[in-house]
Structure 1
């Protein structure tokens, strides 16, 4: 039969274990969130396409992979652009019925904003918001090592906030 909890009495032996009080600082101090932290959770998979491929090929890849953008690279892996759903929709509006056979290189964004794994996540988020784009290739030592999206940033931050709320709740409850 299980025993019930009984609070300590005056004559009980004191525990030799040392306890430390919790504080706001010990419960909320955390390291700065970086792009690398997001990639640890998400992984470094990046879907690429060549500049000479067609928009039809790109659309198929986007649909099959359930993603919103493709990084455009040369055969040797050099970053030359990015093609997003938004780029394709704009081109469809400009050239209805003639878009799918066009080359990726004629429709991609050429000036691609990139980040590195060490970049601060808040700063990357601000850059994406200011530039009104949702996908950013991650480069390390001149090589593509991942892709971060605004959704990744939001999900990471929501998880952080849930964790912080739980820590504060534990601090309050004890």
Structure 2
């Protein structure tokens, strides 16, 4: 099975980020604008601080009766989230996501600099595509053709 590197090669390394002093309302606008479920949180030097997701919004703003326009990201973001590297296997990602009930894994390099973000959708898509390739290869083998 593949690694996070394979996913990032296919989808790219683009990551949408927000500063911790921005409001939750601004973050929600970014989520909608980019059609994503999470944003990374970085400081002014682009140091990775944490992650903000739709789940954080639902659990830490809406259910607590807070105001989206008055609450700063720093107040509700997930600090020190579980991260992976480009060499982490897809299987390990799935295990981490399942065991910890998370949907996004920030990807960091050896210096702990943010280089990507992998979602549960990315992982599932990779697994499905990988299985399709295996099935097609096996069908070709059984039928005597080479693919």
Query: What band does the TM-score fall into relative to the shorter chain?
Result: over 0.9
1:71 to 23, 33, 40: 40
TM-score (norm 1): 0.79
Residues 12-66 of structure 1: CA distance to partner in whole angstroms, max 9, x if unpaired? xxxxxxxxxxxxxxxxxxxx41000010101000000000000011000000000
- Aligned position for 2:16: 47
- Aligned position for 2:143: 173
- Aligned position for 1:61: 30
Greater fraction of residues in helix = 2
Q: Does 1:112 align with 2:81?
A: yes
Q: How does 1:16-165 map to 2 (within 5 A)?
A: 32-90=1-59, 91-95=61-65, 98-141=67-110, 142-165=112-135
Count of paired positions: 142
Aligned partners of 1:130, 1:111: CA distance in 2, in Å?
Answer: 17
Structure 1 spans left out of the alignment, 5+ residues: 1-31
Aligned partners of 1:152, 1:65: CA distance in 2, in Å?
Answer: 16
Q: How far did 1:100 drift?
A: 2.8
Whose radius of gyration is greater, 1 or 2?
1
User: Secondary structure of 1:155's match?
Assistant: helix
Structure 2 spans left out of the alignment, 5+ residues: none
